[in-house]
Structure 1
Amino acid sequence: MFKLPIVLCVSLLMLAGCATPTRYIDPAADDGPVTMTMDYRDFEKAATEAVDDMLASGAVSKPNGERYIMVVSRVTNDTMQRIDTDQLTKKIRVGLLRSGKVVTTTAVGLDGAEDEMSARARELRDSEEFDQSGVQRKGTLKAPDLSLSGKILQRNHTAGKEQQVEYYIQLSLTDLVTGLATWEVETPIIKRGPNDSVSW
């Protein structure tokens, strides 16, 4: 049987003992190192600023005090990273919902319904297996008033002995009756660091 030298065994044990332990991070008090890529702090910042600006602008304040119905359109990722743009739009949706001014429809979308159950539940009409008093009637789905769309851009530059990575989160809110953008914002996120840092 092959045996590891004692020195190698001791070295491996020391390395295992010195490894940084896994721990929880409080997002509200995270003072960890900044990455050149986009991380959750960047999405939190962009979403918070977007919601605050939208509410302050009055773009989501319905004159009669009712809530607008919003649909999420396409938010394009034009960066070098594999970004799921839902990480941004979900935070915006939650913020708007909590404001009491906007609800988001999941029954319609560019690539089909986000939640297909709204349509599937209506397929139960006239089924003898289901109590029809609990099946959704025709004409009860609500059409959206507003559409949220946008783009995330990335630009890399050399800044002396460092690199500068610029992210621009561009968002638009469109009134679906008129087709006019009633609110728009661009949030820049600029990072500067060593040239050997990876930004993708």
Structure 2
Amino acid sequence: MLKRAIVLTAGVLMLAGCATQTRYVDPAADDGPVAMTMDYRDFEKAATEAVEDMVASGAVSNPNGGRYIMVVSRVTNDTMQRIDTDQLTKKIRVALLRSGKVVTTTAVGLNGAEDEMSMAARELRNSEEFDQSGVQKKGTLQAPDLSLSGKILQRNHTVGKEQQVEYYIMLSLTDLATGLAFWEGETPIIKRGSNDSVSW
């Protein structure tokens, strides 16, 4: 019985030793296998292409000088995957902020403020517990000029003995004063691979 336990323990240890070790991946130099699902490389590609096109088109160059204020509207996930669309919009926001052309308001949104503290801090007005010289005054919040919205689509096809998965990341930048789209873009991400691979 003891001998059997020793053999089983040794077998488990051998299997554990053969298992793939966890390691860090450098996103800037990742040449690992490509998944049929969307991964961080796809979001990086889509965000980079969108921002570069927005800047090149002049859509985010304010003719009055200064920076546009953008709000993130609805970006719909119409894929088979549970995608958090913030993974895309956050990259776009960061890149636009770094461009010096756009800032994003977190004080308003379709489902309420992204950061509720903008309004909560204003509830301190007239409170005897707070020095009123440091409390935000009325009329200081800035309304957005632009709205970013979009959709991520997925289409699956059989191509010979393989499957092809197509993702389309479609974005619009709307001028809120006129309701006109200042900019629109679409980034297709096409993957082809084994029918055994899953895309959800």
TM-score tier by shorter-chain length is over 0.9
Residue 16 of structure 1 corresponds to 16
1:72-110 Cα shifts (integer Å, max 9, x gaps): 000000000000000000000000000000000000000
1:194 corresponds to 2:194: yes
**Deviations 1:102-134 (CA, angstroms, capped at 9, x unpaired):** 000000000000000000000000000000000
Shift of 1:64: 2.7
Structure 2 stretches lacking a partner, 5+ long: none
Greater Cα offset, 5-14 or 32-41: 5-14
C-alpha distance in 1, partners of 2:73/2:3? 61
* Equivalent AA in structure 2 for residue 196 of structure 1: D
Query: Superposition pairs for residues 126-165 of structure 1, below 5 Å?
Result: 126-165=126-165
CA deviations 1:128-182 (Å, max 9, x no partner) are 0000000000000000000000000000000111000000000000000000001
Give the aligned partner of residue 36 of structure 2: 36
What is the rounded CA distance, in whole Å, between the counterparts of 2:178 and 2:23 in structure 1?
50
What is the distance in 1 between the residues matched to 2:3 and 2:186? 62
Residues 126 and 192 from structure 1, CA distance in 2 versus in 1: closer, same or farther, beyond 3 angstroms? Answer: same
Separation (CA, whole Å) in 1 of partners of 2:77 and 2:21: 34
SS in structure 2 opposite 1:170? strand
Which letter does structure 2 place at the counterpart of 1:144? P
State how many pairs are aligned: 200
2:91 corresponds to: 91
CA distance in 2, matches of 1:135, 1:57: 40
**Shift in Å, 1:3:** 7.1
**Runs of 4+ in structure 1 over 6 Å off:** none
Instruction: Identify the range of structure 1 (22-31 vs 4-13) with the bigger mean alpha-carbon deviation.
Output: 4-13
**C-alpha separation between the residues in 2 aligned to 1:31 and 1:179?**
42
The separation in 2 between residues aligned to 1:45 and 1:77, in whole angstroms, is 17
Question: Aligned letter for 2:190?
Answer: I
Please state how far the C-alpha of 1:6 moved relative to its aligned partner: 3.9
Cα RMSD for the two superposed structures: 1.2
Where 1:151 maps in the other structure, the secondary structure is strand
Q: How far, CA to CA, are the matches of 2:182 and 2:50 in structure 1?
A: 13
> In the alignment, what sits opposite 2:70?
70
Q: How does 1:107-122 map to 2 (within 5 A)?
A: 107-122=107-122
Letter in 1 for 2:110: L
- The CA deviation at 1:10 is 2.4
TM-score normalized by the length of structure 2: 0.97
C-alpha displacement at 1:11, in angstroms? 1.9
Q: Secondary structure at the residue paired with 2:150?
A: strand
Distance 1:121 1:10 in 2: 61
Match of 1:172 in 2: 172
Tell me by how many angstroms 1:4 deviates.
Answer: 4.2
Unmatched 5+ stretches in structure 1? none
TM-superposed CA distance for 1:9, in Å, is: 2.5
1-structure distance, mates of 2:5, 2:127 = 74
Identity across matched positions, percent: 87
Report the AA paired with residue 23 of structure 2.
Answer: R
